[in-house]
A and B are shown apart, each in its own frame.
Chain A
Amino acid sequence: METNALSRRNFLRVSGIAGSALCLGFYFPANAKKGELITVNTADLSGFEFNAWIRIDANGKVTLTDHRAEMGQGSFQSVPQIIAEELEVDLKDINVVFAQGDPVKYGSQITGGSSTIRGSYKKLLKLSATAREMLITAAANKWNVPASECYAGSGYVIHKPSGKKLHYGELVADASKLTPPKEVKLKDASAYKLIRKPLQRMDTPMKTNGEAIFGLDKKLPGMVYAVVERSPRLRGKVKSFDGSAALKVPGVKQVFKIQMMVFNTTRDGVVVIANSTWAAMQGRKALHVEWDESGFEHVNTADIYKAHEDLLKTKEGLSFKKQGDPDGILNKADKKIDVIYQTPYQAHAAMEPLNCIAHYQPDKIEIWGPIQAPDWVQGDITSKFKMPKGKVIVNMTFLGGGFGRKAFLDYTHEAVAISKEIGAPVQVVWTREDDIKQGPYRAGISYRGQGSVENGEISALKFKMAGQNIDHWNGPSRDKANNSTAEGFLKPYYDSIKNLSFADVPYEMPLPNMWWRSVYASTNGFAYESFMNEMAVLAGKDQLDFRRQYLKDERCQALISKMEEVSGWKSRKKNEGFGVAITECFETTVGQVVKVSRNAAGKVKIDKVWAVMDCGWYVNPDIITAQIEGSVVMALGAATIHEITFKDGLVEQHNFYDYLMPRMSDMPLVEVHIMENPADAGGVGEPGLPPFAPALTDAIYDLTGNRIRKLPFNMNAI
């Protein structure tokens, strides 16, 4: 399998050797309708543009151009599994190469919103089935038999009555001259041989012997290394700097000031260029920089949360949703609660620190790196460096984690600016400290929940959120509520709770934010589902029965029953705490049950997590299971171990010694179940995260009577 992003030239050379081929893709020429399926005859490859998603060559090898990033979520495995199923080839005959950033050819390429599969599986199935039918037709024509007597399997077309067979490779030349059929019949789910099977990931071997090339592993001839000293206070400006000591460090070649752009703001830095990463880091230590940090000295975490609370108590905010008369009912109610939840700022802290290689040349810019949104990077660099269209080439490598951070456009822009300055290819390396201290972060958001109960039923619910908006970079108008105000909250609640409202209280603070795995659901889910658990207590109901009563939708009912069944909810014992939460995001619903108890030393420990996911149509249950296991670990860290805090404008954390991570001994047992139903595919990489924290704190309440409303909290202090 190809592990490197191939340059266009290389790819074409490989194609050229193969001779004729059948290429199929969603090709978007200017005059075609978007999404139109066409074939490209590539007998003459000289003028062929890299625009196919799958390509079958004369040896019968299938090359799939993966338009999304592979950052652990398994698109490298699940996308081929889809294609092999309908194309009727063996998985081992599929090569995967990363696509270059090009929205015209691939449509949206951002790996985010858990969209890799849900956004494209129908097209991929159709594409593969179309290729298969064309190959069958080509064989039938050759044999002069009806196509209905032929079928495909393992890369061959077989004539059933005679047993004659032809390899795909022998048919591609003929097939590529055919007009693709308008309609193709897709397999029924019951006939799947690969889809829904827990197949081993094909990218594992290259990730166990050092072969997989991540951004930091990519090297170019003549490449130099750069590290950048950026303002210790966010958004400080360089007043002056002295690089003379740095230039004396062996290996250091150049020192200069750089300005990097993030949307409509800038960030200053002083760059050290050297012949190795280490030399550049040493040079950086010898720099003397004077910063102008005015305007940010007063940013303190305690003040941020105090401001949130004041806003939540005094302002009604911008209405996101309102039905019935929650205020009127709350005013008159006797049995009611009114509580505040707090969630912290968080860093993404992907294992691979940020990095990017850029090679600026006057007529073209080429970039290599761990990039979640190559098409955005291409657009951003094209416009910021005023390049003609098509002259910016963005190559993806494997990503050592992304979680949203690597969809940001700062580090790629900075690398190009540095390459332009020095006129050579450069790899810009962020240290772990840079990665943790510079942001952008998941915003810390506070919530107020008010609710009342009458005769054991919810009579009113009122939620408000206060916190920074993620897209504050673009200065969104704050005269409308954030459209993610209720993200994570299950929609079927709307049908059964008559008096309900959500509002967003604008809070402005110039801290840089960005999506973080599961985005708003990661914080909303904690507040809204914790509150539902509090409402269940107020109503004197079991938390699962309470949800069953309000989530009437058929899929939710089945999910709740499954949660109850697999977790042994009904046969809970004394001295065990059980907690629950269900959230929805990216069209997938996940319910989790967490069980806690006290260990011999009296400390609360997590015994087990049961997760039930309803993501509709799905590909590989083992990858889904892995994604949920990982989501639980990430949620555990964010709920109990780490947070980003600010003191006088400085981020207080530096590295993994003060931004702690869950480790092997913290890993709870996670058991995953996937619901079977015919619904459309939902996301997989993110929806497993939000329900964990509220289920955990609910379990702790069940065990100890202690209701936790502020994250993170210390498990050892309960």
Chain B
Amino acid sequence: MITITVNGQRHDIEADPNMPLLWVIRDILGLTGTKFGCGAAQCGACTVHLNGEAVRSCVTKINRAAGQNIVTIEGLSANNNHPLQLAWNEMSVPQCGYCQSGQLMSAAVLLRENPNPTDQDIDDAMSGNICRCGTYQRVRAAIHKAAAMQTEGVKS
């Protein structure tokens, strides 16, 4: 039995300790916002926050997450109103949408650590996330927009 906290909720999991967090989240907890893209830490579709850090859940064994805090896309904000989500909506970033949970989870850590990222910072932080639909230009613009919204929010 392994206990993990996902989006603020405690779960006791009965599973192979080697099972990656990705499949625990998707197949056992039924939270399907976190996506399977490569299973090999190559694409970032499965990105979640483990104690606030962006990790590739497809290669993170459930064992490693025992007793810890996990946030998935479903828990990024209460009402789909994280500045990134708002900016994503305003700029119609997603095409097929499949990679976007991962893009948002990576961007959320970037923005928390670096409230005003440069293009180079964005290249560095986001290069682990593949988008086959090619939404990169909009992802970049939306991160800048969210940063601006966040700064505005802090000021007011």
Given contacts A209-B33, A626-B95, A663-B127, contact A657 B20 (CB under 8 A): no
Residues of A within 8 A of B16 (CB): 250-251, 278-279, 282
Contact B32 A351 (CB under 8 A): no
Contact A634 B132 (CB under 8 A): yes
Partner of A200, one of B34, B89, B95: B89
Given contacts A207-B97, A401-B98, contact A351 B43 (CB under 8 A): yes
In A176-193, the 8 Å CB interface with B consists of none
Alpha-carbon gap, A351 to B129, bound state (A): 11
Contact B95 A72 (CB under 8 A): yes
Alpha-carbon gap, A631 to B132, bound state (A): 10
Given contacts A351-B45, A657-B42, contact A667 B136 (CB under 8 A): yes
Residues of B within 8 A of A401 (CB): 96, 98, 132-133
Residue B101 is within 8 A (CB to CB) of chain A in the complex:
yes
Contact A655 B23 (CB under 8 A): no
Alpha-carbon gap, A351 to B123, bound state (A): 20
Contact A204 B130 (CB under 8 A): no
Contact B27 A278 (CB under 8 A): yes
Q: How far is the CB of A481 from chain B (nearest CB, A)?
A: 33
Residue B53 is within 8 A (CB to CB) of chain A in the complex:
no
Interface string of A589-633 (1 = CB under 8 A from B): 000000000000000000000000000000000110011011111
Residue A16 is within 8 A (CB to CB) of chain B in the complex:
no
Residues of B within 8 A of A279 (CB): 16
Contact B92 A277 (CB under 8 A): no
Residue A201 is within 8 A (CB to CB) of chain B in the complex:
yes
Residue B90 is within 8 A (CB to CB) of chain A in the complex:
yes
Alpha-carbon gap, A200 to B94, bound state (A): 11
Partner of B98, one of A201, A352, A629, A655: A352
* A: number of interface residues (CB 8 Å): 66
Alpha-carbon gap, A275 to B88, bound state (A): 36
Contact A655 B85 (CB under 8 A): no
Contact B43 A216 (CB under 8 A): no
Alpha-carbon gap, A349 to B39, bound state (A): 14
Residues of A within 8 A of B96 (CB): 71-72, 350-352, 398-402
Residue in chain B with minimal CB distance to A427: B27
Residues of B within 8 A of A655 (CB): 38-40, 42
Residue A205 is within 8 A (CB to CB) of chain B in the complex:
yes
Contact A210 B138 (CB under 8 A): no
Residue A665 is within 8 A (CB to CB) of chain B in the complex:
yes
Alpha-carbon gap, A657 to B100, bound state (A): 20
Residues of A within 8 A of B28 (CB): 276
Residue A432 is within 8 A (CB to CB) of chain B in the complex:
yes
Residue B11 is within 8 A (CB to CB) of chain A in the complex:
no
Residue A661 is within 8 A (CB to CB) of chain B in the complex:
yes
Residue B30 is within 8 A (CB to CB) of chain A in the complex:
yes
Interface string of B53-85 (1 = CB under 8 A from A): 000000000000000000011101100100011
Q: How far is the CB of A288 from chain B (nearest CB, A)?
A: 21
Residue in chain A with minimal CB distance to B134: A633
Residues of B within 8 A of A627 (CB): 95
Interface string of A412-433 (1 = CB under 8 A from B): 0000000000000000010110
Interface string of A268-279 (1 = CB under 8 A from B): 000000001111
Alpha-carbon gap, A68 to B30, bound state (A): 27
Interface string of B127-149 (1 = CB under 8 A from A): 11111111111111000000000
Residues of B within 8 A of A664 (CB): 122-123, 126-127, 129, 136, 139-140
* B: number of interface residues (CB 8 Å): 61
Partner of A225, one of B27, B85, B101, B128: B27
Alpha-carbon gap, A429 to B39, bound state (A): 12
Alpha-carbon gap, A662 to B27, bound state (A): 30
Residue B104 is within 8 A (CB to CB) of chain A in the complex:
yes
Residue A649 is within 8 A (CB to CB) of chain B in the complex:
no
Residue in chain A with minimal CB distance to B28: A276
Contact B80 A208 (CB under 8 A): yes
Given contacts A216-B35, A278-B27, A352-B98, contact A209 B140 (CB under 8 A): no
Q: How far is the CB of A196 from chain B (nearest CB, A)?
A: 16
Residue B10 is within 8 A (CB to CB) of chain A in the complex:
no
Partner of B101, one of A210, A633, A663, A665: A210
Contact B80 A205 (CB under 8 A): yes
Residue B111 is within 8 A (CB to CB) of chain A in the complex:
no
Contact A656 B137 (CB under 8 A): no
Contact B34 A210 (CB under 8 A): yes
Residue A73 is within 8 A (CB to CB) of chain B in the complex:
yes
In A193-241, the 8 Å CB interface with B consists of 200-201, 203-214, 216-217, 219, 225
Alpha-carbon gap, A278 to B62, bound state (A): 12
Contact A633 B92 (CB under 8 A): no
Contact A630 B134 (CB under 8 A): yes
Contact A630 B133 (CB under 8 A): yes
Alpha-carbon gap, A663 to B133, bound state (A): 11
Residues of B within 8 A of A219 (CB): 30, 32
Residue A669 is within 8 A (CB to CB) of chain B in the complex:
yes
Residues of A within 8 A of B19 (CB): 276, 278
Residue B4 is within 8 A (CB to CB) of chain A in the complex:
no
Contact A217 B32 (CB under 8 A): yes
Most B C-beta atoms less than 10 A away, residue of A210, A403, A631, A655: A210
Q: How far is the CB of A458 from chain B (nearest CB, A)?
A: 35
Contact B138 A216 (CB under 8 A): no
Interface string of A51-95 (1 = CB under 8 A from B): 000000000000000000001111000000000000000000000
Residue A353 is within 8 A (CB to CB) of chain B in the complex:
yes
Contact A349 B27 (CB under 8 A): no
Q: How far is the CB of B156 from chain A (nearest CB, A)?
A: 24
Alpha-carbon gap, A432 to B84, bound state (A): 28
Residue B115 is within 8 A (CB to CB) of chain A in the complex:
no
Alpha-carbon gap, A200 to B142, bound state (A): 13
In A362-403, the 8 Å CB interface with B consists of 398-403
Residues of A within 8 A of B38 (CB): 432, 655-656
Residue A286 is within 8 A (CB to CB) of chain B in the complex:
no
Q: How far is the CB of B76 from chain A (nearest CB, A)?
A: 7
Residues of A within 8 A of B129 (CB): 663-664
Q: How far is the CB of A613 from chain B (nearest CB, A)?
A: 16
Q: How far is the CB of B73 from chain A (nearest CB, A)?
A: 4
Residue in chain A with minimal CB distance to B87: A208
Residue in chain B with minimal CB distance to A658: B42
Residue A670 is within 8 A (CB to CB) of chain B in the complex:
yes
In B12-50, the 8 Å CB interface with A consists of 15-16, 19-20, 23, 26-28, 30-40, 42-43, 45
Contact A204 B31 (CB under 8 A): no
Given contacts A629-B137, A634-B134, contact A210 B92 (CB under 8 A): no
Residue B6 is within 8 A (CB to CB) of chain A in the complex:
no
Partner of B36, one of A250, A353, A661: A353
Residues of A within 8 A of B140 (CB): 664, 667
Q: What are 10 A-B pairs at a CB distance below 8 A?
A: A74-B95, A201-B92, A208-B89, A214-B98, A216-B35, A276-B15, A277-B23, A351-B35, A353-B36, A401-B98
Query: What are the nearest 7 A-B pairs in CB distance?
Result: A210-B33, A633-B134, A400-B98, A72-B96, A207-B97, A72-B95, A630-B134
Additional A-B contact list (12), CB under 8 Å, known A219-B30, A251-B16, A667-B134: A200-B89, A208-B100, A210-B31, A210-B32, A210-B34, A216-B36, A278-B23, A281-B39, A351-B133, A400-B96, A431-B39, A626-B92
